[in-house]
Amino acid sequence: MPANLTPQYLEAEQAFREAGTLEEKIRCLEEMLRVIPKHKGTDHLQGDIRRRLAKLRRQSSEEASRSHRGHSFKVHKEGAGQVALAGPPNVGKSALAAVLTNAEPQVAEYPFTTRVPVPAMVPYQDVKIQLIDLPPVSLEHEEHWVVDLLKAADAVVLVVDLAADPLGQLEFTLKHLEEKRLVPQSAAAEPGEDKPLHIVSRPMLVACNKLDAPGAQENFELLGQLLETGPPMLAVSAEKGLGLEDFRRALFELLSVIRVYSKTPGKKPDLQEPYVLPSGSTVLDFAETVHREMAEHLKFARIWSTDKYDGQKVNRNEVLSDGDILELHN
C-alpha cells in the first residue's frame, strides 16, 4: 500500500533534516508522527519514527541530567489538545487557569508566582482540553524550558491585562517569542515562500483579561482597532467570570479538531465519549482511530450529519465534520 505522504508531513520531515538541536529534532519527529497518514502503508515508517523519537528522548534526558542549567519539564498531552498560556508577569494567567479548571495554581499580586508548569483540564461540552499555566515571559528571569513547552503545545494563548497597557504587553510577548523562533501560525510563511530555519508556528489566541477593570472595554476596542492583523482576540475576566464560555469555545476552535461519534449497527450511537480527530479527517481516518483492522476491512460507512440524510452511505474518503455520527461496515 503506498504511503501517500501529505505536504504537512513532508514539511515536518524537511524541518527535521534542518534541525540543529535535540529539542528541535524531537519536536519535528513529534510533528511527523502527528500528521503522518495512519494506514497500513505507513506502519513501517511510523515504527521508525517512534524508534528515533525514543532514542532522542533518552539522549535528551541523559543530557538534562548532566546539565547545570536547572530543571527541565515535559507535559504529557491529554484530552482534545494541549494549550499553553503565555504572557508577562501579573496579567492573570494563573487566575484564568484556576477559574477554568480544577487546578490550584498559586495566585498572588507579585510577579513570578508560578515556578513550574501547572497542567489541568478545561471542560468544554463533552470533551476536555488540557491547559498549561507557565511562568511568565520576561527578560528578567526565564527558564529555557518555558519556550520549549510553548513550542511543544498544540496551541498558545497570549494573556494580556486590559488595565495595564495591553498593546505593549502583547507586542513584547510576540517579539520575545519570535526571537525564540515561535510565531503565530498566521505569520508563518505560506506554502512556496521562503521559511526561516527552525521556526515553529502555532495557532494563537489573545485573551484580554480583567475586563471588569475601569476602562477595560474601551481598551479592548482600541486594541482591536490598532491590531488589524494578528491572532484573534477575546475579552474575559477571571475574577468576575466574564466571557469564560466564549473562551472555552475559542480554545476548542483553536485546536482545529472535530468530534466524531461511533454507532454500532442496530444500536443507538455512543454520544458520551467522542473520538477527537484533526479537522479534515476522513471516514478512513476515523476507522484507523477505532481499530487498525477495522480500517483494513472497511467497505463503507453510514453517516448521521447535519448536511446529510440520516444513515446516508458514504465511502472511506468522505471528509467528516464536527458532531458526525459514523456506523462502520466491513
Specify the pLDDT at position 108: 47
Alpha-carbon distance 223 to 208, whole Å? 10
Three cell numbers, residue 22: 535535540
| pLDDT (tens digit per residue) in 117-164 | 889 999 999 999 999 999 888 876 667 788 889 999 999 999 999 998
Of the pLDDT bands very low, low, confident and very high (cuts 50, 70, 90), residue 195 is: low
Q: CATH number for the domain including 299?
A: 3.10.20.30
Domain co-membership, 103 together with 247: yes
Last residue of a domain, one of 220, 254, 288: 254
Of the pLDDT bands very low, low, confident and very high (cuts 50, 70, 90), residue 105 is: low
Domain co-membership, 305 together with 266: yes
- pLDDT of residue 79 exceeding 90, the answer is yes
Alpha-carbon distance 330 to 320, whole Å? 19
Domain co-membership, 228 together with 201: yes
Alpha-carbon distance 287 to 285, whole Å? 5
Domain co-membership, 128 together with 216: yes
CB 208 within 8 A of CB 160: yes
- pLDDT of residue 198 exceeding 90, the answer is no
Considering only CA atoms, which of 149, 20, 23 is closest in space to residue 75? 149
Domain co-membership, 239 together with 307: no
* Percent with pLDDT over 70 in the chain: 87
Mean pLDDT of 300-311: 90
Alpha-carbon distance 135 to 113, whole Å? 8
Domain co-membership, 140 together with 171: yes
Considering only CA atoms, which of 216, 252, 218, 215 is closest in space to residue 236? 216
Specify the pLDDT at position 278: 94
Question: How wide is the angle at C-alpha 24 spanned by C-alphas 20 and 25, nearest 5°?
Answer: 80
Specify the pLDDT at position 6: 84
What's the mean per-residue pLDDT of the chain?
Answer: 86
| pLDDT (tens digit per residue) in 208-231 | 999 999 999 999 999 998 887 789
Specify the pLDDT at position 254: 96
How many domains is the chain built from?
3
